[in-house]
């Protein structure tokens, strides 16, 4: 939702302060939320409710019920409609609605194909707004009014998704144009550009996300036996790798000494100490202080936390997924989250099919981001991916409740 908006603004060359609170952004968010609700209602009327979907609806109801209890018994400190609750309705809930509707209507292959085009548009917007001016000597370490972290995360996200599309997704999940040589070469150039954008922004969490995508790509390459089964397939894979390497060499040779690129790289790797160890005090951008404050709040109410939606008004933004859940629900909530998360990963692994690689590569971005910057309650992609993993059934996507 947000990556596409800011990237399109960048593509159009638009920039102004508080762009995430502009009228255009408000209309965009309301349109996405409203359309997802309408499509969800249509899919439910036509196909009913899936079992996994019913489970998620139950969890949402539990969230609302627990919040209501906090409002009743702690009315002075817990308001009925805190800001984070409104953001959940506008950003998080549409992720669930979209996942359920997509699976019930059988639109997942089409969504994957269209998503590639949207990622390409994102990449062009990122490169045109930030990378090209910076390489020309005018530093632009932001994206259409958003922060440097936004530029870094979106650059890493676009790079990772293009990596998965170009090397690991089957052709039937892509448009025919993806088999054209000019399109592949253009995609490789976009990947290098997005990699540069990530470094230009200097975001440390985004730099780790970039590394995670690299590791995922390597693991998928060596785990896919078809890459080595025939000479033709091996030659094709080697050609793709060599194309990227050639483009990268040309780029590094031309722009490797660019001061802006070097400054971004130095900032992104600042958390790595001189001895190679992690140095949080030097490279955490104050996260170590935030984490210590969050732990102090947790010590005050370690068992039950501060409520699912009211915790932010009583504590702070912890910049970490696990600390956020601990502040919401206490140690009990963290334990349940870990158990459910492990069960969900096991289910997804057993239930894996041609869509699993795509959903995991998509999920990697919000997961890493919520570990360092964002909040899961209003990260639409995070909620979408979790909802997909819960609802999706291999060969039985439409097993409905009686």
Task: Tell whether 65 is covered by a domain.
Answer: yes
Dump pLDDT digits (tens) for 4-28.
877 777 777 776 555 556 777 888 8
C-alpha 46: how far from chain center: 30
Distance, CA of 131 to CA of 192 (rounded, Å): 10
Distance, CA of 149 to CA of 155 (rounded, Å): 10
Count of domains observed in the chain: 1
Task: Tell whether 313 is covered by a domain.
Answer: no
Task: Tell whether 214 is covered by a domain.
Answer: yes
Task: Tell whether 181 is covered by a domain.
Answer: yes
Dump pLDDT digits (tens) for 253-291.
766 666 777 777 777 777 776 666 666 666 566 788 899
Task: Tell whether 117 is covered by a domain.
Answer: yes
* Beta strand extents in 116-265 (DSSP E only): none
Specify the 3-state DSSP secondary structure of 309: coil
Task: Tell whether 290 is covered by a domain.
Answer: no
Residue identified by tokens 């000019």 is: 182
Least confident of 4-8, 51-55, 66-70, 126-130: 4-8
Distance, CA of 188 to CA of 8 (rounded, Å): 20
- For residue 146, pLDDT over 60 is answered with yes
Distance, CA of 373 to CA of 209 (rounded, Å): 12
Contact predicate 17/396, CB 8 Å = no
Domain that holds residue 195: 2-269+351-391
Output the average pLDDT for the chain: 86
Task: Tell whether 72 is covered by a domain.
Answer: yes
Task: Tell whether 144 is covered by a domain.
Answer: yes
Distance, CA of 178 to CA of 176 (rounded, Å): 5
Helix (H) or strand (E) holding 218: helix 204-223
């Amino acid at each position: 939702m947000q990556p596409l908006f800011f990237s399109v603004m960048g593509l159009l060359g638009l920039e102004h302060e508080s762009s995430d609170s502009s009228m255009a952004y408000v209309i965009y968010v309301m349109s996405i939320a409203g359309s997802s609700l309408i499509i969800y209602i249509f899919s439910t009327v036509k196909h009913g409710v899936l079992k996994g979907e019913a489970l998620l609806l139950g969890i949402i109801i539990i969230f609302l019920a627990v919040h209501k209890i906090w409002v009743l018994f702690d009315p002075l400190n817990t308001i009925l409609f805190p800001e984070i609750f409104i953001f959940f309705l506008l950003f998080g809930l549409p992720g669930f609605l979209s996942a359920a509707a997509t699976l019930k209507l059988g639109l997942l292959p089409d969504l994957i194909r269209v998503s590639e085009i949207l990622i390409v548009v994102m990449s062009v917007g990122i490169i045109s707004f930030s990378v090209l001016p910076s390489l020309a000597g005018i530093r632009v370490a932001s994206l259409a009014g958003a922060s440097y972290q936004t530029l870094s995360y979106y650059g890493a996200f676009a790079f990772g998704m293009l990596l998965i599309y170009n090397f690991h997704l089957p052709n039937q999940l892509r448009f025919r144009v993806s088999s054209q040589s000019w399109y592949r070469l253009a995609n490789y150039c976009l990947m290098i550009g997005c990699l540069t954008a990530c470094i230009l922004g200097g975001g440390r969490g985004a730099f780790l996300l970039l590394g995670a995508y690299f590791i995922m790509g390597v693991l998928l390459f060596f785990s896919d036996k078809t890459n080595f089964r025939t000479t033709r397939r091996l030659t094709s894979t080697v050609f793709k790798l060599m194309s990227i390497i050639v483009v990268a060499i040309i780029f590094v040779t031309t722009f490797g000494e660019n001061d802006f690129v070097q400054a971004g790289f130095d900032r992104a790797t600042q958390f790595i100490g001189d001895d190679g160890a992690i140095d949080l005090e030097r490279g955490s951008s104050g996260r170590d202080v935030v984490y210590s404050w969050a732990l102090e709040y947790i010590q005050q109410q370690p068992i039950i936390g501060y409520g699912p939606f009211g915790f932010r008004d009583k504590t702070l933004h912890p910049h970490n997924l696990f600390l956020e859940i601990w502040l919401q629900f206490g140690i009990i909530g963290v334990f349940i989250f870990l158990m459910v998360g492990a069960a969900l990963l096991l289910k997804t692994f057993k239930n894996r099919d041609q869509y699993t690689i795509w959903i995991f590569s998509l999920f990697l971005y919000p997961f890493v981001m919520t570990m360092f910057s964002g909040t899961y309650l209003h990260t639409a992609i995070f909620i979408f991916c979790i909802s997909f993993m819960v609802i999706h059934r291999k060969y039985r996507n439409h097993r409905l409740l009686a």
